[in-house]
Amino acid sequence: MSGIRPTGFLHLGNYFGALRNYVKMQESYTCFFMVADLHSLTTHPDTKELKAHVHRVLAENIASGLDPDKAALYCQSHVPETTELYLYLNMLAYKGELEKTTTFKEKARLQPDNMNAGLLTYPVLQTADIIIHRASLVPVGKDQEQHLEMARNFVNRFNHRYGEVFPEPMAFNFGEELVKVPSLDGTGKMSKSENQHATLYLADSDEMIRKKIMKAQTDSGPTEPGTPKPAYIENLFLLMKLVSGADVLESFEQAYQECRIRYGDMKKQLAEDMIAFIGPIREKAEAIRNDHSYLRQVMEKGAEKARASSGATMKLVREHMGLNYY
């Protein structure tokens, strides 16, 4: 189980941290993938734009290879059982631990005038999203590790108090390291809402991709063999590893080690490989995004599968909690 907020355009971080694993997982697991529209309300977006954003996220998921016939692809607000579970879990979540969450502290810095309770309890709703399907594997990027640790705490508290209902959810990446895709300016991660000029979006035009990559920071190159790569150069190699062939990566790695690397050439190569990667996804997503009746069918089918699973869990939850009076 996993989700992505409809807060903007999907980017390379979403693809390599999340979507790529969704597509692999749908072949061998029962999967639930959700557009987290309720989560997006914590930052008070203009809700007139929600519909277009939800459609975009759905289309970009499908264009990246997610098959709505294999996995359940749905909208969070179409599954009201989640909000009931969220309420029960809130009784097991403590103010102190919620205030210590890194993402909460980060939001407190960015939007000090909107420290609402939904923002504080974000990890609780996220836990409800996951365990409503009694899911144990959560394909997410590295930025979500702390939230999953909190989810395990809430699960253990629930199971301890009311009896074993939920498995412990774990971040999942097919046994590989969790990925963090850095922003092109080397100052953080690629993101829907921040670092936009230094983030590569799945909807970026070829020209835009070229422009952003060519602007990435470099220097005059190493002068002595064995010089460690500065963070902004490491980032370029990391991006190249994601989208270029192994031989291409190897040749630039060698050029770096031998102090003859030309970063202009490296960025040109990276831009062309990135265009070959993003271009087909962009075009497919564009076509799906404009097919509203297809998107409606996808959402209805997804909600039906998700509600069947959530309904069964909530029955179990109410029984274990003693909320059954007939």
Contact between residue 179 and residue 17 where contact means Cβ atoms under 8 Å apart? yes
Our CB check for ligand ADP shows the closer of 6 and 222 to be 6
The Cα diameter of the chain in Å comes to: 79
Q: Is 211 an active-site residue? A: no
DSSP per position, 159-204: HHHH-S--PPPEE-STTSPPP-PBPTTSSSB--SSS-GGG--BTT-
3-state secondary structure of 128: helix
The yes or no reply on residue 13 touching ligand ADP (CB under 6 A) is yes
Query: Which residue's CB is nearer to ligand ADP, number 155 or number 181?
Result: 181
* Residue 100 known to be catalytic: no
* 39, two tokens: 């989560």
Shortest Cβ 10–ligand ADP spacing (Å): 8
189: annotated active-site residue: yes
Q: Is 1 in the site for ligand ADP (CB under 6 A)?
A: no
**Separation between Cα atoms, residue 194 and residue 294, nearest integer Å:** 31
Quick check: 56 binds ligand ADP (CB under 6 A)? no
Beta pairing class for 137-138 and 170-171: parallel
By C-beta, is 64 or 144 nearer to ligand ADP? 144
Active-site option among 48, 100, 189, 268: 189
The verdict on 141 binding ligand ADP (CB under 6 A) reads yes
Kindly state whether residue 169 participates in binding ligand ADP, applying the rule CB under 6 A.
Answer: no
Binding of residue 137 to ligand ADP (CB under 6 A): no
Q: Which of 147, 267 has the CB closer to ligand ADP?
A: 147
Whichever of 101 and 144 has its CB closer to ligand ADP, that residue is 144
Interface stretch with ligand ADP, choices 68-76, 82-90, 156-164, 184-192 (CB under 6 A): 184-192
The answer to the question of residue 140 lying near ligand ADP (CB under 6 A) is: yes
Say how many C-beta atoms besides its own lie within 10 A of residue 208's C-beta.
Answer: 14
Torsion (CA) 157, 159, 160, 161 in degrees, nearest 10: 80
Chain centroid to CA 97: 23
Residue of 191, 235, 309, 313 interacting with ligand ADP (CB under 6 A)? 191
End-to-end Cα separation, the chain, in angstroms: 33
By the rule CB under 6 A, 128 interacts with ligand ADP: no
Catalytic site residue from 107, 212, 267, 305: 107
Contact flag: residue 42 with ligand ADP (CB under 6 A): no
Which of 18, 119, 125, 288 is the binder for ligand ADP (CB under 6 A)? Answer: 18
- Least separation in angstroms between residue 260's CB and ligand ADP is 31
Interface with ligand ADP includes 210 (CB under 6 A)? no
Is there binding between residue 180 and ligand ADP (CB under 6 A)?
Answer: yes
Question: CB 252 → ligand ADP: shortest distance, Å?
Answer: 22
Q: How buried is 301 (Cβ within 10 angstroms: 0-12 exposed, 13-18 middle, 19+ buried)?
A: middle
- The label of the residue with tokens 């954003």 reads 53
Smallest separation (angstroms) from ligand ADP to the CB of 7? 5
For 15, residues 6+ apart whose C-beta sits below 8 A from its C-beta are: 64, 202, 281
Q: Identity (one letter) of the amino acid at 289?
A: R
One residue of 1, 9, 17, 85 binding ligand ADP per CB under 6 A: 17
CA dihedral 284, 176, 69, 64 (to 10 degrees): 0
Taking Cα atoms as reference points, which of 267, 277, 184 lies closest to residue 221?
A: 267
Q: Which residues bind ligand ADP (CB under 6 A)?
A: 2, 4-5, 7, 13-14, 16-18, 140-141, 143-144, 179-181, 189-193
Residues recognised as catalytic = 107, 189, 192
